[in-house]
Amino acid sequence: MNVMLEVIGVEPPCKRCAMAHKNAEQAASRLSQEGVQVTVKKLDIASEDVISRYGVFLSPALAIGGSIRVAVRIPSPEEIIRIVKATLHQS
């Protein structure tokens, strides 16, 4: 199982965006222990590609499997894990 987790925020990262990225990395590490491979990628919210693909203007945001799942707040590692597992069960 492979999951793409994209943390969308400003560059250079603000404290909130940095915390969202850190929480995503922690969630990915814990999920890998359960056999779920998660790739964490940082995206710049000001990028035209990101704006056209996701339409988000406020950060931080979190996309899982190509869909925005959390916006304008910092998800905890536990919340990210729940969302990833729910996403896997839907597919």
| pLDDT over 90 (residue 90) | no
| pLDDT over 70 (residue 10) | yes
Bridge partners for 2 per DSSP: 37
In order, the DSSP letters of 9-58 are E-SS--HHHHHHHHHHHHHHHHHHTTT-EEEEEEEETT-HHHHHHH---S
* Two structure tokens written together for 41: 């990628």
In the chain, domain spans? 2-90
Mean pLDDT value of segment 1-29: 96
Q: What pairing do the DSSP bridges indicate for beta strands 37-44 and 67-71?
A: unpaired
| C-beta of residue 48 within 8 angstroms of C-beta of residue 6 | no
User: What is the pTM assigned to this prediction?
Assistant: 0.94
pLDDT tens, position by position, 33-73:
999 999 999 999 999 999 999 999 999 999 998 999 999 99
Whether domain 2-90 has CATH 3.40.50.1000: the reply is: no
| pLDDT over 80 (residue 78) | yes
